[in-house]
Amino acid sequence: MIEAHDLTKDYGDKRAVDGLSFSVRPGIVTGFLGPNGSGKSTTMRLILELDAPTRGEVTVNGKHYREHAAPLHEVGALLEARSVHTGRSAYNHLLALAQTHGIPRRRVEELIDLVGLHDVARKRAGQFSLGMGQRLGIASALLGDPSTVMLDEPVNGLDPEGIRWMRNLLKGLAAEGRTVFVSSHLMSEMALTADHLVVIGRGRKIADTSTKEFLSQASGNVVRVRSPQAAELERLIAGPNVTVAVLEPGLLEVHGLTSAQIGDAAAAGGVALHELTPKEASLEEAFMDLTREDVEFKAVELEDEEAAA
Amino acid sequence: MSAHAHVSQLPRTAHTGRVTQARVALSEWTKLHSLRSTRWSLLVGFLLTIALPVLFAAVTSSHWGSMSPHERADRHPLDIALAGVNLSQLAIAVLGVLVITGEYSTGMIRASFTAVPRRLPVLWAKTAVFGSVAFLLMVPPVLIAFFASQAILSRHHILQISFSHPGVARSVIGGAVYLMLVGIFALGIGAIVRNTAGGIAAFAGIFFVIPPLMNVLPTSWNNAISQYLPSEAGRQVFSLTHGDHSLSPWPGTALFVGYCALALAIAAVLLVRRDT
């Protein structure tokens, strides 16, 4: 369980995280979504108290991270930035972390096997590929058998098989009742993995909703219409909340009406239709829509401030 | 690698309890001995501590006949025996800086502070583990340096001093103590600066640049101030005798320990306050 309240972080003049409040529940995979530079990694550093918030607070399992007597049993974290000494072997890296909590050596070996690093465990981590480094990071995160798992862009650098493995692992961890919080800038990946989404842009929360709901909201009313009488149809369906984009001669994309409404209007006006396709917005587009709104909101706010001044 | 990749169930493990200072110390021991830079720095420190006195003793022996009485009076057996310390301190100091800055440059510090979010146990453990290792590994070379240089000098029946002579044992072991303290001081500097090049530069500035700069001052000022510099106070840890314008051994040692404590205290305050 992770609970953030009004979490805010400034770096100099730049506000990286802006009044973020959310909670991450156990038993499901919660996706933490936002474009690069939107404040995801900063938020995770604040959760681990590697950085101190400018305002607000965040707790893990009811306590500030620093107050836990055995933090690795509470939270296992993979940060986006590498957190491994390049001169040390994977085995010794994990062992050093394990020893702070009295975690036995056989657990270290178990994790090395789990993430598939057995053959390179004695090699220096500096020689690891991105994917191997990522697996080592995941092994560090799971070392303490934590009740909360927090991973920043975990599929970065993994091959397709590794990505599938990660997906199953995350779902498995959630199914065991753990809290799983995973960041990504890839909507498509989150659509497959996450049950719930916290979406941020420019450090602010844009959405906090189930993935299912997010997708259905996002789908909106976008319909692709192909007609030999496109201009006639455009006239028939015109309305205050309707926008029509001409993709190519005879092919329209209509926003603001359902396919049924367009079909009915065409029948009533005697216009032939060759195609009528309600478009499912992809998660990617939904995400773009949301972040665009956020950008516009920011611009308006700025104008208001200028007007007030 | 992929042979295991289908495993997606995390095996459980017993929760073995809390983070303790002793556990963090064990972890720091693993970190220290698992790096090549540690072995190289300590090996270089070990060899320099012995090699220089041996060389110094050999040169002194072979030139003794042609040396003026004044030159002869200037040579002291303990200066020869501990000449290596002046050089090997650089290897130990570089390692002291690296013990902490190596974590910052690689990002390891984030893993360390995630495991031990209170942070201070990491600083104390690093200090204790590195300090102990530096001391234990530097005792043999100072002893070897003393007895080897004495053996070389004895063949010419010159500059003989007994290990049981008052103050000799303290000075010789003091060489190892000094190297340990220099390493700890450097570790503190490294923790404050958080950058390898910056840490080494700061250390070199304090130990090798500031002392000669004091000569710019009027002699009376120089004499009054220089003895309180870290480098000069530290020298008293392994000095048998002291001049008119230097502290005697125990006050000098106490002051140098104070400098180390000050560096660590500043490091501790910054460590807890700063973002990582």
Q: Is residue A289 part of a domain?
A: no
**What mean pLDDT is predicted for residues B124-150?**
98
Asked if residue B249 is part of any domain, the answer here is yes
User: A248 burial class (0-12, 13-18, 19+ CB within 10 angstroms)?
Assistant: exposed
* Beta pairing, strands A196-201 & A29-33: parallel
Q: Report ipTM (2 d.p.).
A: 0.93
Domain check: are A42 and A156 in the same one? yes
A288 occurs within a structural domain: no
The tens digit of pLDDT for each residue in B235-266 reads: 999 998 878 888 999 999 999 999 999 999 99
Residue A4, both tokens: 């953030």
Of B239, B47, B62, give the one whose Cα is nearest residue B152. B62
Cα–Cα distance measured from residue A55 to residue A9, given in angstroms and rounded to the nearest whole number: 7
Task: Indicate if A104 and A185 belong to the same structural domain.
Answer: yes
Predicted confidence (pLDDT) at residue B71 exceeds the cutoff of 70: yes
Q: Does A309 reside within a domain?
A: no
Task: Kindly state whether residue B12 falls inside one of the protein's structural domains.
Answer: no
B243, B201, B202: which is closest to B226 by C-alpha?
A: B243
The per-residue pLDDT of chain B, averaged, comes to 94
Looking at the structure, do residues A186 and A242 belong to the same domain, yes or no? no
The partner residue sitting opposite A101, judged by closest CB among B10, B19, B276, is B19
**B14 occurs within a structural domain:** no
The Cα–Cα gap between A89 and B155 comes to: 49
Average pLDDT over residues B208-232: 93
% pLDDT > 70, chain B: 97
Return the half-sphere exposure (C-beta side, CA atoms, 13 A cut-off) of residue B46.
11
Question: A287 lies in a domain?
Answer: no
Q: Bridge partners of A7?
A: A20
Q: Is residue A228 part of a domain?
A: yes
Residue B170 in contact with partner chain A when CB distance is under 8 A: no
Using a CB–CB cutoff of 8 Å, tell me whether B39 touches chain A: no
Please state, in angstroms and rounded to a whole number, the distance separating the CA atoms of residues B76 and B165.
Answer: 14
> Considering the domain boundaries, does residue B9 fall inside one?
no
Write out the H or E segment, with its range, that includes residue B229: none
Tell me the HSE value of B111 on the side-chain side, using a 13 A CA sphere.
35
Q: What does the alpha-carbon distance between residue A251 and residue A231 come to, in Å, rounded to a whole number?
A: 10
Q: Are A77 and A150 in contact (CB under 8 A)?
A: yes
Separation of alpha carbons A250 and A273, rounded Å: 10
Does residue A22 sit in the same domain as residue A126?
yes
Residues 72-131 of chain A whose Cβ lies under 8 A from any Cβ of chain B: 72-73, 75, 77, 79, 81-89, 92-93, 95-104, 107, 110, 113-120
Q: What is the mean pLDDT of each run of 10 residues along chain A (309 residues)?
A: 97 94 97 91 96 97 96 94 93 98 95 94 94 93 96 90 91 95 88 92 91 73 87 89 86 85 91 85 66 54 46
CA A186 to chain B, closest CA, distance in angstroms equals 22
The answer to whether residues A136 and A181 belong to one domain is yes
Print the SS3 string covering chain A.
Answer: CEEEEEEEEEECCEEEEEEEEEEECCCCEEEEECCCCCCHHHHHHHHCCCCCCCEEEEEECCECHHHCCCHHHHEEEECCCCCCCCCCEHHHHHHHHHHCCCCCHHHHHHHHHHCCCHHHCCCEHHHCCHHHHHHHHHHHHHCCCCCEEEEECCCCCCCHHHHHHHHHHHHHHHHCCCEEEEEECCHHHHHHHCCEEEEEECCEEEEEEEHHHHHHHHHCCEEEEECCCHHHHHHHHCCCCCEEEEEECCEEEEECCCHHHHHHHHHHHCCCCCEEEECCCCHHHHHHHHHHHHHHHHHHHHHHHHHHC
Indicate whether A73 and A154 sit together in one domain.
Answer: yes
Residue A108 lies in a domain: yes
What's the domain range around A137?
2-217
Residue B4 has pLDDT above 70, yes or no: no
Structure tokens at B7: 């495993």
DSSP state of B239: -
End-to-end CA distance of chain A: 43
Element (H, E) at B198: helix B196-204
Cα–chain center distance at A52: 23
Residues A257 and A227 in one domain: yes
> How many domains is chain A partitioned into structurally?
2
Reading the block at residue A227, the tokens are 């007609």
- How does residue B6 score in pLDDT terms, banded at 50, 70 and 90? very low
Strand partners, A57: A5
Residue partners of B51: CB distance under 8 A and separation at least 6: B84
Domain edge (last residue) among A168, A192, A217: A217
Give A120's Cβ-side CA count (13 Å radius). 16
Mutate one of A10, A49, A85 to test the B interface: name it (highest B CB count within 10 A): A85
B35 assigned to some structural domain? yes
Q: What is the pLDDT of residue A295?
A: 53
Residue B128 distance to chain A (closest CA, Å): 15
* A43 and A93 inside one domain: yes
Enter the tokens of residue A268: 């009533």
Answer for the pair A9, A19: CB distance below 8 angstroms, yes or no: no
Q: Is residue A98 part of a domain?
A: yes
Q: What CATH number is attached to the domain comprising A247?
A: 3.30.70
> Residue A281 is which amino acid?
A
Instruction: Determine the residue type at B162.
Output: S
Residue A308 resides in a domain: no
Chain A touched by B26 (CB under 8 Å): yes
Q: Quick one: A251 and A188 in the same domain?
A: no
The 8-class DSSP code of residue B60 comes to H
Q: What is the pLDDT of residue A253?
A: 87
**pLDDT given for residue A283 in this prediction:** 61
Domain-located, residue B3: no
Listing DSSP states for B99-148 in one string gives: HHHHHHHHSHHHHHHHHSTT-HHHHHHHHHHHHHHHHHHHHHHHHHHHHH
- CATH code where residue A28 lies: 3.40.50.300
Ramachandran assignment for A47, one of left (phi > 0), alpha (psi -120 to 50 degrees), beta (any other): alpha
- B13 inside domain: no
B11 within a domain of the structure (yes/no): no
A129 and A41 within one domain = yes
A197 and A141 inside one domain? yes
Count how many Cα atoms sit within 13 Å of the Cα of residue A62 in the half-sphere of its side chain.
2
- The reported pLDDT for the residue numbered B5 is 43
pLDDT, position B3: 40
Q: Which residues pair with A223 in a beta bridge?
A: A254, A278
Euclidean distance between CA atoms A239 and A299, whole angstroms: 28
Residue B109 · residue B276 · CB < 8 Å: yes
**Domain end (from A167, A185, A217):** A217
State whether A122 and A267 are in the same domain.
Answer: no
Taking CB atoms and an 8 Å limit, are A83 and B30 in contact across chains?
Answer: no
Q: How many domains does chain B have?
A: 1
Range of the domain at B50: 20-273
Using alpha carbons only, how large is chain B's radius of gyration in Å?
A: 22
pTM score of the predicted model: 0.86
